[in-house]
Amino acid sequence: MSEPSIILGYRPKEKIPEPLTFLKCFSCGIENSRPFKEEDYVLKIVNDEKCPKCGGTSSKIVNIYVPEKKTAK
C-alpha cells in the first residue's frame, strides 16, 4: 500500500488585483482613476492625458491603490 504524496509549496493561483492610479485635474479639480502604468508614482505631474470632465491636459497623481480582494461571506 502506497502513502499519499504531499506536494509542498503548492498554492492555487490567485488572481492579483490590478492597481489603480488616481489623478487630480489642475483645471477643474476632479479626481479620476485609470489602470496603473509602470512609470507612475505619487505626486508625478502628467501632461499627456485628457481630463474626462473638462478636457484639461495637466494633472497630478494623488494616489495609487490596490483594491482588496472580495471575500465571500
Q: Average pLDDT of the chain?
A: 86
- Whether 54 maps to a domain, the answer reads yes
- Whether 72 maps to a domain, the answer reads no
- Whether 13 maps to a domain, the answer reads no
Q: Where are the alpha helices (DSSP H) in the chain?
A: none
- Whether 4 maps to a domain, the answer reads no
**Would the pLDDT of 36 be above 80?**
yes
Q: What is the CATH number of the domain that holds 33?
A: 2.20.28
- Whether 45 maps to a domain, the answer reads yes
Q: How many domains does the chain have?
A: 1
Contacts (Cβ under 8 Å, ≥6 apart) of 1? none
pLDDT band at residue 60 using 50, 70 and 90 as cut-offs: very high
**Would the pLDDT of 43 be above 80?**
yes
